[in-house]
């Protein structure tokens, strides 16, 4: 029998293969607990084929593409499993676009994307795993991407 570390859910989303240690950042991206009352289970430092990983299971909720892009920034190997009636109905690997627009704040205070102009932040993805991005406007490469997610 297949081992389930936490209780099965009937409907919802399992975010699997999260970079070990980043589950809490995923919860933050999903607005848990601040703006969501969904039931959530978290497993951290689970052994898997590829070393340790974290897992987040959210009941009765499917993610929007914006949330999935944010998760890709901090967990490039994550899979999004949509559970319907206890079964994995859909499985998607997160995928970062070539450019990340409007989801990370530039670390340069004088960058045009941080000015009063209505200019959305825009980063070019240089490397996906580990993530490396460069501001399209000022070329700065932020280190603490997880802390800069809007
Ligand atoms: N009903 C459920 N409730 C809670 N978690 C579930 C449920 N069904 C599957 N999962 C979890 O969702 C994830 C994906 O399930 P799946 O059966 O596709 O596993 P897998 O074959 O190991 O997938 P992968 O190759 O992506 O690791 C696993 O972490 C599994 O434990
Ligand atoms: Mg697996
Ligand atoms: Zn910039």
Give tens-digit pLDDT for 25-42: 999 999 998 888 889 999
Domains of the chain, by residue range, sit at 12-93, 99-148
- Please give the distance, rounded to the nearest whole angstrom, from the Cα atom of residue 80 to the centre of ligand 3: 30
Q: How far apart are CA 72 and CA 75, in angstroms?
A: 5
Which 3 state secondary structure label does DSSP give 24?
Answer: helix
CA distances from 132 to 18, 129, 141, 148 (A): 17, 8, 7, 13
Q: Could you tell me if the CB of 88 is within 6 A of ligand 1?
A: yes
User: Sheet containing 12-19: which strands, arranged edge to edge?
Assistant: 40-48, 51-59, 12-19, 79-84, 87-93
Out of 3.20.19.10, 3.30.70.140, 3.40.50.2300, 1.10.260.40, the CATH code matching 12-93 is 3.30.70.140
Among protein residues, the one with the nearest Cα to ligand 1's atom 11 is 14
Looking at the whole model, is its pTM more than 0.75? yes
pLDDT of residue 122: 97
Dihedral-angle region of residue 42 (phi above 0 means left; psi in -120 to 50 means alpha; beta otherwise): beta
Among protein residues, the one with the nearest Cα to ligand 1's atom 26 is 79
pLDDT of residue 2: 61
Q: State the architecture of 99-148 in CATH terms.
A: Roll (2.30)
Q: Could you tell me if the CB of 80 is within 6 A of ligand 1?
A: no
DSSP assignment, residue 72? H
Of the pLDDT bands very low, low, confident and very high (cuts 50, 70, 90), residue 3 is: low
């Amino acid at each position: 029998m297949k081992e389930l570390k936490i209780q099965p859910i009937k409907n919802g989303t399992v975010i699997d293969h999260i970079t070990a240690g980043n589950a809490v950042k995923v919860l933050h991206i999903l607005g848990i607990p601040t703006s969501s009352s969904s039931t959530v289970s978290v497993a951290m430092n689970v052994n898997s084929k590829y070393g340790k990983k974290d897992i987040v299971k959210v009941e009765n909720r499917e993610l929007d593409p914006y949330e999935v892009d944010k998760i890709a920034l901090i967990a490039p190997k994550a899979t999004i499993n949509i559970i319907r009636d206890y079964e994995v109905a859909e499985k998607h690997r997160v995928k970062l676009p070539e450019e990340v627009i409007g989801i990370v704040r530039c670390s340069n205070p004088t960058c045009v994307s941080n000015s009063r102009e209505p200019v959305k932040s825009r980063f070019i993805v240089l490397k996906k795993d580990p993530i490396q991005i460069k501001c399209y406007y000022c070329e700065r490469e932020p280190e603490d991407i997880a802390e800069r997610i809007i």
